[in-house]
A and B are shown apart, each in its own frame.
Chain A
Amino acid sequence: MRIVLANIIAIYRRELQSYFVSPLAYAIASVFWFLAGLFLVMILLGPDGILPTIAAYDLQSQQMGGAVPVIDVAYEFVRAFLDRMGWLLLFILPVLSMGLYAEERKRGTLELLATSPLTNWAVAIGKLLGVLTFFTTMVLPLLGFEAIVLAAASPPVSPIIPLLGHLGLILLAAAILSLGMFISSLTDSTILSAVLTFGVIILLLFVDLIAKIIPGSIGEAISHLSLLKHYDTLVQGIFDTSSLVLFSSYIILGVFLTAQSIDTLRFQRQ
């Protein structure tokens, strides 16, 4: 057990290290932060932003009297922001996961890993943790953005709401990265891997739209597979164990399929 853990840590450290020296990773992080900042400003101050809307409501009630609709501004902000972040993941995550195995296959280093006393599981888990850590470091500054906004909120917002939302964001990312890792293990082309992962993410995000077409309990069962639906629940500040179970299932499925796929690759390789 200790050896397996040491192996996971070895793979994890190497994977993480490779992100911090890779120009691609820095490019992704820059684009992510730029877009996140842009969304933040748009949500607050943009033409349809929260603050102008509220100001309009206020002005309206002052001029014409009547009740102001009750809006929890801070909560609406967190929701809208994390919702946009969920969308951003769609484009960012395939680029992060595309190289996980495809790159190893291309460079021939998979042969080194496969002939070392490591299990496929340890390699897959180490890699997933590595890419997830990188993603988390990308997300952390966003908490700073939000802290600035929420500090001005009166009455103050419980920090649990943005934190739960971010937990959701990271779980959503972990689920997608895990599946992306499996797709990456199927090919030695990083581009192909990114494109396929993109397709799978879209499918899983919108599976509830498909589910609506299918009537009855089958449709309902399928709708539970939707990642976006469970992400929304967490973003709304509702801690639902079924969401946790769903995300964990996707993560475990991804790791399991990756380990199997590497085994199959070795057993059928031409």
Chain B
Amino acid sequence: MIEVDHLSKVYGSTPAISDVTFSVEPGEILGFLGPNGAGKTTTMRILAGYLPASTGTARIAGYDVHENSLSVRQRIGYLPETPPLYPEMTVEGFLQFVAQIKGVSAGDRPMKVSAAIERCNLQEKRQVIIRKLSKGYRQRVGIAQAIVHDPPAIILDEPTVGLDPRQIIEVRNLIKSLAGTHTIILSTHILPEVSMTCSRVAIIHHGQVVATNSPENLMTQLTSGSGYDIEIAGEEVSLAKQVIQNVAGVSLVESMPTSGENRSCLRVILQPGTEIAPKIAAALINSGFDLYEMRRISATLEDVFLKLTTEEKHLPIEVDTE
């Protein structure tokens, strides 16, 4: 549904993102995780057709975001970093306007606007002027404008920023309820957020995608901190995996692509605080495997991890009185 291929963006001489590649399958929620300033917003803006990429291509629903910009813009909903709202309009009036400029036919408009209002829990604020809404409600109106025309692809840039814990939960549930029928890409710098909402995660750091995986695997990779890439002879790896898994201190073994012929590469993730390279090597050799290479990995992820927000603030839950 969304394919990003070697995307780069240079501002003057500073690269904002370089060689970003990932894809999002239909109905999936991809979390775009990275510290502040990693290039998340730039990537989102390119996908939404707001900025052109310096090199590389991005396609949504098969259309190039730059060359077929109008076709793409008809098929996306986009929530920028700051929700784009007209403060003098009412919630309903604003959503009507957005539906109109997104090309929803006059007959469908009332129904779609009502649906978006209900999904975002804005029924009570229908006729309220946006200027008078609290930040949490404004964020919800921002999400409502991104989904009002029922687009197949939804791009959300930091959708939960500035919300209180109760609203965060609501927004996450809303996003989850959109999955399946919509393809969603959301950016965040909060680690637990991706594990709670996303089916897959791409981690971006210094403008580069350093890992793409399911949240569970990434979490293991991140929290364990380190591991090894091991290259062995032969293409049959299930036995080798078994052998390594049996070594005390190993938390995860997975197959990796390899360039060598008749070789296999395995990624071993260790439990925190363990240093068992000799044991793994010995176990492999004792089981008759030819060991070619063993190198330490995960330094980049650790680096990212340190800069991410890994814990959510446990604020007392306040009821929004506005």
Query: A: which residues have CB within 8 A of B?
Result: 3, 6-7, 10-11, 13-14, 17-18, 21-22, 107-119, 266-267, 269-270
Contact = CB atoms under 8 A, between A and B. Distances in A.
Contacts of B200: none
A117 B74 contact: yes
A109 B86 contact: yes
Interface residues of B, number: 31
Interface stretch (B94-102, B201-209, B249-257): B94-102
B137 interface: no
A117 B103 contact: yes
A22 B87 CA distance: 11
B209 to A, nearest CB: 22
Given A116-B101, A117-B103, A109 B51 contact: no
Interface string B41-62: 0000100111110000000000
21 contacts: A6-B100, A7-B101, A11-B101, A17-B93, A18-B86, A18-B88, A107-B84, A107-B87, A108-B82, A109-B85, A113-B101, A114-B49, A114-B50, A115-B48, A115-B78, A116-B98, A116-B102, A119-B70, A267-B52, A270-B11, A270-B12
B30 interface: no
Interface of B: 11-12, 45, 48-52, 70, 73-74, 76, 78, 80-89, 93, 97-98, 100-103, 145
A107 B86 contact: yes
B9 to A, nearest CB: 11
Contact of A116 (B12, B73, B85): B73
A45 B279 CA distance: 107
Given A117-B70, A266-B50, A270-B11, A112 B98 contact: yes
A156 to B, nearest CB: 45
A111 B101 contact: no
Contacts of B88: 17-18, 21-22
A17 B89 contact: yes
A79 to B, nearest CB: 39
Contacts of B80: 108, 111-112, 115
Given A17-B88, A18-B86, A108-B83, 14 more contacts: A3-B103, A7-B100, A10-B97, A18-B89, A107-B85, A108-B80, A110-B84, A112-B98, A114-B50, A116-B98, A116-B101, A117-B101, A117-B103, A266-B50
B145 A112 contact: yes
A200 to B, nearest CB: 27
Contacts, number: 74
Nearest to B76: A115
Interface residue SS majority, chain A: helix
B139 to A, nearest CB: 13
B97 A14 contact: yes
A3 B89 CA distance: 23
Contacts of B76: 115
A218 to B, nearest CB: 40
Contacts of A22: 88
Contacts of A266: 50-52
* Most A C-beta atoms less than 10 A away, residue of B51, B82, B89, B100: B100
7 smallest CB-CB distances across A and B, nearest first, come from A112-B84, A10-B100, A109-B84, A117-B73, A115-B48, A117-B74, A108-B82
A116 B104 CA distance: 12
A261 B158 CA distance: 28
Contacts of A109: 84-86
Nearest to B47: A115
Nearest to B103: A117
A236 to B, nearest CB: 41
A88 B98 CA distance: 36
Nearest to B82: A108
B178 to A, nearest CB: 18
Contacts of A113: 101
B100 A108 contact: no
A209 B97 CA distance: 46
Contacts of B87: 107
A267 B87 CA distance: 27
A3 B145 CA distance: 20
A82 to B, nearest CB: 33
A164 B94 CA distance: 38
A111 B46 CA distance: 12
A6 B82 CA distance: 27
A17 B85 CA distance: 15
A267 B53 CA distance: 9
Contacts of B98: 112, 116
Contacts of A108: 80-84
A193 B173 CA distance: 43
A260 to B, nearest CB: 15
Nearest to B155: A115
A119 B49 CA distance: 13
A270 B51 CA distance: 10
A22 B83 CA distance: 21
Contacts of B93: 17
A21 B132 CA distance: 14
A22 B49 CA distance: 31
A177 to B, nearest CB: 20
Contacts of B48: 111, 115
A13 B94 CA distance: 12
A6 B109 CA distance: 14
A13 B82 CA distance: 24
A127 B86 CA distance: 15
